[in-house]
A = this chain, B = another copy of it.
Amino acid sequence: MANLNARRHERIDTPRGEPDSRPVSNAAARDKFRQYLIKKGLRVTNQRLAIFDAAFERKEHFTAEQLLDYARALDDSVSRATVYRTLPIMTESALLREVDIGTGEKFYHPATGESTQVAQVVCVDCDKIFEISAPFMEWYGSTVSSKLGLTPVSQRLQVSAQCDAFRRTGNCPRRG
């Protein structure tokens, strides 16, 4: 959110750790990413893998700037530009989901795979983002077609909500 992240990372001359040797919790998704790159004729670079791994380490939603930090912890040579250039690749491959809650910056989250029809619930107190399934959105798409003669491509349902506990106690139990 703030631009306190302007810290310089001077490139070190030690050889970078082999990306394949990194402990990977999401080997399956990682392989999908690798396959996607190859299929598209894109190159499998250490930076792209580091960015991917950084993204899939995360449980919470993150911003591009945060992802830059996470990825740099894995590979010091990752730059902001490459993060921004890699994010669309990961969203197009459906491995990452982009979430725009209207705050100016976009959030990202590893796609859970199962459900494409989810709603984001954004807590105005915590700023946390929850995802819950919204199966009726599928049905809703068909009503759009019939009413407007348009074929739905994608849908987003976002709910802003306040945390009852936070309002009472000044602390959100979900935090941390």
A residues adjacent to B (C-beta < 8 A)? 98, 100, 102, 106, 119, 121, 123-124, 130, 132, 134, 136-137, 140-141, 144-145, 147-165
Contacts and interface: CB of A to CB of B under 8 A. Distances in A.
B160 A157 contact: no
Chain A: interface secondary structure? strand
Nearest to A158: B156
A149 B159 CA distance: 13
Q: How many copies does the complex hold?
A: 2
B134 A121 contact: no
Given A132-B144, A149-B164, 14 more contacts: A100-B102, A121-B144, A121-B148, A121-B150, A123-B150, A130-B150, A132-B147, A136-B136, A140-B157, A150-B161, A151-B161, A153-B161, A153-B162, A157-B158
Nearest to A143: B132
9 contacts: A119-B140, A130-B150, A134-B140, A136-B140, A137-B157, A140-B157, A149-B163, A150-B164, A152-B160
A158 B98 CA distance: 14
Contacts of A130: 148, 150
A160 B154 CA distance: 5
Contacts of A147: 132
Contacts of A155: 157-160
Nearest to A157: B157
A162 to B, nearest CB: 5
B148 A161 contact: yes
A152 B163 CA distance: 9
